[in-house]
Amino acid sequence: MVDDIARTSRAAAARPMDLLRFATAGSVDDGKSTLIGRLLYDTKSIFEDQLAAVEAVSAARGDEYTDLALLTDGLRAEREQGITIDVAYRYFATPRRKFIIADTPGHIQYTRNMVTGASTADLALILVDARKGLVEQSRRHAFLCSLLRVPHLVLCVNKMDLVDWSEEIYESIADEFTAFAAKLEAPDLTVVPISALHGDNIVTRSSRMPWYDGPALLHHLEHVHIASDRNLVDVRLPVQYVIRPQSTRYPDYRGYAGQVASGVLKPGDEIMVLPSGFTSRIASIETADGPVAEAYPPMSVTVRLTDELDISRGDLICRPHNAPKPAQDIDALICWMDESAPLQPGRKYAVKHTTRTARAVVRELQYRLDVNTLHRDETAEGLALNEIGRVRLRTTVPLLADEYRRNRTTGGFIVVDEATNRTVGAAMILDAA
C-alpha cells in the first residue's frame, strides 16, 4: 500500500499539484519527530543514505531506536547538545500536493520559532500525548497559531497505542481542545487519533480504532481546502520594483512589478495608487510568458497602467472604493524576538511592511500578554525575548496597511534594530489610523 502511494506520487508530478505549507508544534516527547519521520518515510521522501547516516549516529550514541530527529537536527551544536535550535524546513509530495513542513523546535526560543513557522503556514499541526492530555504547551501552541491566523488547525492525539486505543480518552482530549479553540477563533479544527510510532491513521486508516470515522492524517493534509483561504476580494498589489528597460525595442516601457497580496486584478479595472491617491486603469498585466487576463495571489506579475503616474517601490495599487487609509499611528500585537535588548516605549526602530520601509517610535506599551493564561499585564514596562504585547507605534511615513485578521500580507510587519540590523520583532496590525 505504502509503496503504491509512493510510486504514484513520484510518477504523477506531471499533473498539476498544489502547495500546502504547514507548521508542526510539539516537543520531542510528544513524538513530533517520529511523526515527521513517519510522513517522510511513508511517502518515500527519506533516502537510503540519509537513513543510513541517521542509523549509524543513533547506534553510535547507544539509542534504543533510530532517532529520526537526527534527520533534521544537522547542525554541530544540535548534535552535540541533543537539541533543536532552529526552524527546519522539510519537503515531501504526494500525487495531489507538495508539502513544505516548517518544523519548529519545542524547547528553546519556542515562541520565536513557532511564530516564524506559523507566519507562512496554511495549516498547523499540534501534537499531544494521549497519556498526558492537553498541557500548558498545547494551549500555547494553539494560541500562537490563532495569533498568526493560520487558517487550519489539526490536533494529533498521539501514542494511542499506549492508552489501549481508547475512544473515551481520545474524546475527552478532543472535547477539551475544541472548547479551548473556540475561544481563540481558530477557524477550522480537525482532531485525529494516531500512533506515529506504529503508523496508525497516518497514511492509511487504522483498523485498531474502528470508532474513529474521520480520515487518516495524510488524507486530510492532501484534501483540506486551502484555495479559499486567500483573500480574493481586496485588491492589494504592493509595488516591488519598476521595470524600465529603456532599450531600443522597449523605449517607453514602464511596468510595476509585484506579487499580488490579495484580490483579483484585470485589464480595464480602475485602480488607485497609494499614498498619492491618483487613479488610473490597468492597461495590461504582463509576465515573461505573455500577458494574462487576471492576476490573483500569489502571482508575481508586472502591471502597466493607461496613465503616466509617478509610482515607486513601496506604493500600493488597490481599488478606489476599497483602499486602506494611509496610517502613521499603528496599534499592533508584537512578538519580541531579540535576546540582547527588550522593546521599550520611546525607542526607535526600522519597520518593513510589504515593500515599504519606515522608521517608527514606540509610543506606548499597552499590555503584555501571558500566552499561557491570556492575562493582560498593563503594568509591564517592556517586552523581553519571546514576550508578546500590544503596542502603539508612530511611523515616519504612512503605512498602507490592513488589519492582520483581514490580510496576512498587508497586515504584518517586521521590526529591525537599526544599530544591529537584526530582526527583533514580528507585528500583527490590529488597527491603523
Partner 1 sequence: MTSVAAYRFSHLDALEAESVFVMREVVAEFERPVLLFSGGKDSIVMLRLAEKAFWPAPIPFPVMHVDTGHNFDEVLAYRDRRVQELGVNLIVASVPEALESGLVRESADGSRNRIQTPVLLDAVEKHRFDALFGGARRDEEKARAKERVFSFRDEFGQWDPRNQRPELWSLYNARINRGESIRVFPLANWTEVDVWHYINREKIALPEIYFAHEREVVDRDGMLYAVHDHLPPRPGEEPFIETVRYRTVGDASCTAAVKSDADTVEKVIEEVGATRITERGATRGDDRVSETAMEDRKREGYF
**Interacting positions 174-213 with partner 1 (CB under 8 A):** none
User: Residue 32 interacts with partner 1 (CB under 8 A)?
Assistant: no
Q: Which of 98, 208, 347, 363 binds partner 1 (CB under 8 A)?
A: 98
- Single out the segment in contact with partner 1 by CB under 8 A; choices: 28-36, 115-123, 203-211, 315-323: 115-123
Cell of 393: 507605534
Closest CA to 238 of 397, 353, 354, 395: 354
Nearest Cα to 273, choosing from 228, 232, 316, 307?
316
Looking at the DSSP bridge assignments, the partners of residue 99 are: 20, 92
Contact by Cβ (8 Å): 41, 120: no
Q: Which amino acid makes up residue 8?
A: T
Q: Are 122 and 149 in contact (CB under 8 A)?
A: no
Q: In the complex with partner 1, which residue's Cβ is closer, 60 or 179?
A: 60
Instruction: Determine the size of the site formed for partner 1 (CB under 8 A).
Output: 82
Q: Give the span between the Cα atoms of 381 and 376, in whole angstroms.
A: 13
The total number of residues written for the chain in this structure: 433
Question: 140-144: long-range contacts at Cβ-Cβ below 8 A with a sequence spacing of 24 or more?
Answer: 140/110, 140/111, 140/371, 140/372, 141/25, 141/26, 141/114, 142/177, 142/180, 142/181, 142/184, 142/186, 143/184, 143/371, 143/374, 144/25, 144/111, 144/114, 144/115, 144/118, 144/371
Q: Map residue 173 onto helix, strand or coil.
A: helix
Using CB under 8 A, which of 288, 310, 346, 379 touches partner 1?
288
On whether the CB atoms of residues 152 and 138 are closer than 8 A, the answer is no
Residue 321 contacts partner 1 per CB under 8 A: no
Q: Toward partner 1, which CB reaches closer, 119 or 146?
A: 119
Query: Can residue 244 be called a binding residue for partner 1 (CB under 8 A)?
Result: yes
**What is the closest distance, in whole angstroms, from the C-beta atom of residue 131 to partner 1 in the complex?**
31
* Cell numbers for 2: 505504502
CB of 43 to partner 1, least distance (A): 12
Window contacting partner 1 (CB under 8 A); options: 207-215, 248-256, 273-281, 326-334: 248-256
Shortest Å distance, C-beta 249 to partner 1 = 7
List the one residue from 89, 168, 175, 396 that touches partner 1 (CB under 8 A): 89
Question: Taking contact as CB under 8 A, which single stretch among the options 110-118, 161-169, 207-215, 364-372 is the one that binds partner 1?
Answer: 110-118
Among residues 36 and 156, whose Cβ is nearest to partner 1? 36
Residues 331-390 interacting with partner 1 (rule: CB under 8 A): 337, 350, 352-355
Helices in 62-166 by DSSP H: which ranges? 76-81, 110-119, 136-147
Task: Work out which of 207, 247, 248, 379 binds partner 1, going by CB under 8 A.
Answer: 247
d(CA 58, CA 52): 10
Measured distance CA(324)–CA(295) in Å, rounded: 20
Exactly one of 245, 277, 291, 320 binds partner 1 (CB under 8 A); which one?
245
84 versus 195: smaller Cβ distance to partner 1: 84
Considering only residues 389 to 418 of the shown chain, the ones binding partner 1 according to CB under 8 A are 408-409, 412-414, 416, 418
CA nearest neighbour of 9 among 102, 89, 71, 92: 92
Cell triple for 132: 498526558
Q: Least distance (Å) from partner 1 to the CB of residue 325?
A: 21
Q: Shortest gap between Cβ of 181 and partner 1 (angstroms)?
A: 23
Stretch that binds partner 1, among 155-163, 214-222, 250-258, 384-392 (CB under 8 A): 250-258
Nearest to 344 by CA among 393, 383, 398, 288: 383
- Contact region with partner 1 (CB under 8 A), list: 170-178, 180-188, 213-221, 286-294: 286-294
Torsion 88-92-98-99 (CA) sign: negative
| 284 binds partner 1 per the rule CB under 8 A | no
Among 1, 3, 4, 16, binds partner 1 (CB under 8 A): 16
Nearer to partner 1 (CB atom), residue 182 or residue 232: 232
Interacting residues with partner 1 between 223 and 242 (CB under 8 A):
227-228, 230, 232, 240-241
Q: State the minimum distance, in angstroms, from the CB of residue 180 to partner 1.
A: 25
Beta pairing class for 356-369 and 237-238? unpaired
Binder of partner 1 out of 174, 184, 264, 430 (CB under 8 A): 264
